[in-house]
Amino acid sequence: MNVAREPAKDTRRLRARYGEWAVVTGASDGIGRAFASELARSGMNVALVARRAALLEQLARELSETYEVACRVIVADLATQDGNRMLIKSTDSLEVGVLVAAAGFGTSGEFVDSDLDNEETMLNVNCLASLRVAWHFARRFRDRKRGAIVLLSSIVAFQGVKRSAHYAATKAYIQNFAEGLREKLRASNVDVLAVAPGPVASGFASRANMKMNGAERPETVAKGSLDALGRATTTRPGVLSKVLGYSLAMTPRWGRVKIMSAVMKGMTAHQTS
């Protein structure tokens, strides 16, 4: 397993600013795993949350040996209420200062042909679990008068997207939620950040049945996001997400729907060929 060693710009500020522990959901793979590594490298202890226990245990061993931080493994299915309760119970005794809610997945293809149970599971993980953990930690952070909440949005969050209609809708929920929450919690010295990457090389594409070109590394997303924490409402880590974001900013919403649907058509072309 590769754990990056070169430090991001000023991640050492994270522990001083927010506290001793970070909770990272989706830490077994991809973006969440990269966040967990980066937070450990900044000197924070990390609680690693996902379903695949062996991957979490392995990461915990690696991070604690490399960075001499404490790690807590929490095996939980966040699609369920029990899983969310377990996360909250298992972190109650920790001085948590950062929440990164990176657990999530996507779907693609014709919505009417999709598996409704899978779509409901995605809604539960991407939205309901984010709501539950954000609600819980927002109250804790407000009471201790410091903390940070990082939520995973996407470039698909800013308009409807054909062939990924429901996934894009889950990310629009997160984007709007993060923007409002940031305004609300700013007065309590709590930072909130929406992370809106483009394609990222992780387990995401195969689960979503998408093919991605020019995908960013998860480490780029994690480092860029932690650099932006406390300085922005939304960050678009990676080149493609910045290019698309800025070039579409002045495009009317119907135009953005057309353009992003064309992008998604390319990412799902293999499904019909």
Ligand X SMILES: NC(=O)c1ccc[n+]([C@@H]2O[C@H](COP(=O)([O-])OP(=O)(O)OC[C@H]3O[C@@H](n4cnc5c(N)ncnc54)[C@H](OP(=O)(O)O)[C@@H]3O)[C@@H](O)[C@H]2O)c1
Binding site residues, ligand X, CB under 6 A:
26-32, 50-52, 77-79, 102-106, 125-126, 152, 154, 197, 199-200, 202-204, 207
Min. distance of Cβ 145 from ligand X in angstroms? 28
Rounded CA-CA distance 75/58 in Å is 13
Of 18, 67, 167, 173, which one is the catalytic site residue?
167
Q: Which of 18, 145, 162, 171 is catalytic?
A: 171
Based on the residue annotation, tell me whether 145 is a catalytic residue of this protein: no
Q: Residue 10 has which token pair?
A: 């000023």
The amino acid sitting at 188 is S
Partners of 150 in beta bridges: 100, 193
**In terms of CB distance, is 19 or 27 closer to ligand X?**
27
Cβ 185 to ligand X shortest distance, Å: 21
- Looking at the Cβ atoms of 103 and 138, the one nearer to ligand X is 103
Q: Tell me the one-letter amino acid at 96.
A: V
Smallest distance from the beta carbon of 25 to ligand X, in angstroms?
Answer: 6
Q: Which is nearer to ligand X, 78 or 148 (CB)?
A: 78
Residue with smaller CB distance to ligand X, 25 or 45: 25
Kindly state the smallest distance separating residue 163's Cβ from ligand X, in Å.
15
Annotated catalytic residue 265: no
Residues marked as catalytic: 167, 171
